[in-house]
Amino acid sequence: MDVVVLNKRANQITVVIGEAVRNVQCDLTPTKNGQAYVGNVMGREMLFHRSREQVQADPDHDNPALKKSGTFKSI
């Protein structure tokens, strides 16, 4: 599964899942305890195992060359 990060902020991460015409956009929001981000895509839950503080400190926030990420997990 291809996952590309479109926008990353501490309060929301927007990702595109899939390729070409078969892609879906998903907004991930922090969990109540702030230790991960979750969202739903076509009935499946997506989970990003990074805390709000880690996302806020990520250096790739301003570098588009580093936006591709493989750390998402479909549950």
pLDDT value for 54: 87
The kind and range of the H/E element at 57 are helix 52-57
For the stretch 36-60, pLDDT in tens is 999 999 899 999 999 988 888 776 5
Mean pLDDT, to the nearest integer, of 18-37? 91
Q: Token digits for 70?
A: 């493989």
Q: What gap in Å lies between CA 4 and CA 64, rounded to an integer?
A: 11
Q: What is the pTM of this model?
A: 0.73
Q: What gap in Å lies between CA 51 and CA 65, rounded to an integer?
A: 22
Going by the DSSP 8-state scheme, the letter that residue 70 receives in this structure is: -
Q: What gap in Å lies between CA 26 and CA 62, rounded to an integer?
A: 20
